[in-house]
């Protein structure tokens, strides 16, 4: 079925009476063969008629390809783009037709450059899409809608929804998007449901005529809940950095302590080799004994500092993680009053904290 002369459908609509039977396919193939001979003789209009009949019998990619090429030769750019785009969307993975695909792509690009294209979305599947009053398919459309450059009226309709329409302008070789949303229609029950309106003298359903209407107490004003306090990442960064420093101090002092112990052991070995002792040592061992004592003290100091460094690093790391993961409590409201316990060396008590 050929589209109307001023518009080409997003995809060629398959004829309603088209049959997928083997007989229909066989007759369509015969028409394609006949159209091929006419096409080779330059009789494009006759070939177009034969291919159109083949399309009505068997709307497949190969018929669309031949029909698109024929319309390309006849300068019917909208219809050419229509059928060539359909053929390319359904192109099979067969080597025998692979060499034909570049021709289809080239001629589609040339035809498309002469017309405009619309991309239409309706938001609801099955909605009937029309452009300038002519049906082009149902949402979601498989491809673009090819039109003459200029303004076009796009409309979508579906039972149970209100219609939606939009006027779009498309340039030659360009593409315009028409995104439409279908508003759902209210049901009959919703439209006829009674609505009480005290200001207009209405009464609630079932209320006796003239019966006194109880006044409802005014609703308590709703206040927004307190917003959670914003988390500051500065303490996390500071604690993390301090933890790294503590770890570095621990590692460094551990190395220094080990070096001092090694030096002290080396001095002790010299004393042992000299068969001396550091308790009333000979005069030639006085300096070595002092070095042993000094290195031993240094090793002890560095060991103590390394332990402190590791402990501080671990504590700071735990504090940083705890602060980062601890749930933020809500900021106290302007009128909040809190009672906090307080302890000191001399005793204890409570502190009342509030803001007004």
Q: Which helix (H) or strand (E) holds 323?
A: helix 286-325
- pLDDT at 50 exceeding the cut of 60: yes
Beta bridge partners, 119, equal 177
Q: What is the pTM of this model?
A: 0.48
Same domain? 49 vs 77: yes
Confidence of residue 208 (pLDDT cuts 50, 70, 90): very low
Residue 212 belongs to some domain of the structure: no
Mean per-residue pLDDT for 250-268? 79
Same domain? 49 vs 120: no
Number of domains the chain is built from: 3
Q: Which is more confident, 34 or 197?
A: 34
Same domain? 40 vs 99: yes
Same domain? 179 vs 238: no
> Rounded to whole angstroms, how far apart are CA atoms 188 and 160?
11
Decide which of 169, 184, 199 is a domain's last residue: 184
The per-residue pLDDT for 278 is: 66
Same domain? 108 vs 4: yes
Mean per-residue pLDDT for 95-107? 90
Residue 201 belongs to some domain of the structure: no
Same domain? 82 vs 165: no
The per-residue DSSP string of 46-64 comes to HHHHHHHHHHHH---HHHH
φ, ψ for residue 347 (rounded to 5)? 160, -150
Beta bridge partners, 218, equal none
Highest mean pLDDT, choosing among 33-37, 238-242, 256-260, 273-277? 33-37
The per-residue DSSP string of 218-268 comes to PPPPP-PPPPBPPPPSHHHHHHHHHHHHHHHHHHHHHHHHHHHHHHHHHHH
> Rounded to whole angstroms, how far apart are CA atoms 349 and 192?
67
Q: Which helix (H) or strand (E) holds 138?
A: strand 134-138
Question: Which residues are CB-neighbours of 213 under 8 A, at least 6 positions away?
Answer: 198, 203, 207
Question: Which residues are CB-neighbours of 91 under 8 A, at least 6 positions away?
Answer: 61, 97, 101, 104
Same domain? 125 vs 108: no
Burial class (CB in 10 A: 0-12, 13-18, 19+), 13: middle
Decide which of 168, 184, 200 is a domain's last residue: 184
Highest mean pLDDT, choosing among 6-20, 23-37, 176-190, 195-209? 23-37
Confidence of residue 307 (pLDDT cuts 50, 70, 90): confident
Q: Which is more confident, 98 or 271?
A: 98
Range of the domain at 134: 115-184
- pLDDT at 190 exceeding the cut of 70: no
**3-class SS at 153?**
strand
Q: Which two tokens stand for residue 332?
A: 């106290």
- pLDDT at 117 exceeding the cut of 50: yes
DSSP conformational letter for 184: B
Residue 39 belongs to some domain of the structure: yes
Same domain? 71 vs 161: no
> Rounded to whole angstroms, how far apart are CA atoms 58 and 29?
9
Q: Which two tokens stand for residue 57?
A: 């019998």
- pLDDT at 16 exceeding the cut of 90: no
| Residue 141, Ramachandran bin (φ over 0: left; ψ between -120 and 50: alpha; else beta) | beta
Same domain? 37 vs 102: yes
């Amino acid at each position: 079925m050929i589209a109307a002369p001023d518009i080409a459908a997003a995809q060629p609509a398959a004829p309603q009476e088209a049959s997928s039977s083997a007989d229909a396919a066989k007759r369509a193939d015969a028409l394609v063969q006949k159209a091929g001979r006419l096409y080779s003789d330059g009789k494009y209009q006759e070939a177009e008629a034969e291919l159109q009949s083949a399309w009505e019998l068997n709307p497949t990619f190969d018929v669309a390809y031949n029909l698109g090429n024929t319309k390309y030769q006849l300068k019917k750019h909208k219809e050419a783009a229509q059928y060539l785009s359909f053929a390319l969307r359904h192109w099979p993975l067969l080597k025998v037709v692979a060499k034909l695909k570049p021709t289809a792509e080239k001629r589609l690009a040339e035809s498309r450059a002469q017309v405009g294209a619309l991309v239409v979305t309706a938001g609801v599947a099955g909605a009937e899409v029309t452009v300038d009053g002519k049906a082009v398919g149902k949402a979601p459309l498989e491809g673009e809608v090819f039109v003459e450059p200029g303004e076009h009226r796009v409309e979508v309709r579906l039972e149970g929804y209100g219609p939606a329409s939009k006027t779009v302008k498309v340039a030659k070789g360009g593409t315009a998007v028409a995104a439409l949303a279908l508003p759902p229609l209210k049901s009959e029950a919703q439209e006829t449901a009674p609505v009480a309106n005290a200001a207009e003298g209405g009464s609630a359903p079932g209320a006796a005529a003239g019966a006194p209407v109880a006044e409802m107490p005014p609703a308590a004003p709703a206040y927004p809940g307190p917003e959670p306090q914003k988390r500051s990442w500065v303490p996390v960064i500071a604690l993390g950095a301090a933890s790294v420093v503590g770890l570095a101090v621990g590692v460094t002092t551990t190395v220094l302590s080990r070096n001092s112990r090694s030096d002290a052991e080396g001095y002790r070995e010299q004393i042992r080799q000299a068969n001396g002792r550091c308790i009333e040592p000979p005069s030639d061992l006085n300096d070595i004994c002092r070095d042993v004592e000094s290195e031993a003290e240094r090793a002890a100091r560095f060991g103590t500092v390394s332990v402190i460094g590791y402990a501080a690093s671990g504590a700071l790391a735990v504090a940083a993680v705890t602060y980062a993961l601890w749930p933020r409590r809500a900021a106290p409201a302007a009128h909040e009053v809190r009672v906090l316990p307080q302890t000191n060396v001399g005793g204890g008590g409570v502190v009342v904290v509030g803001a007004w």
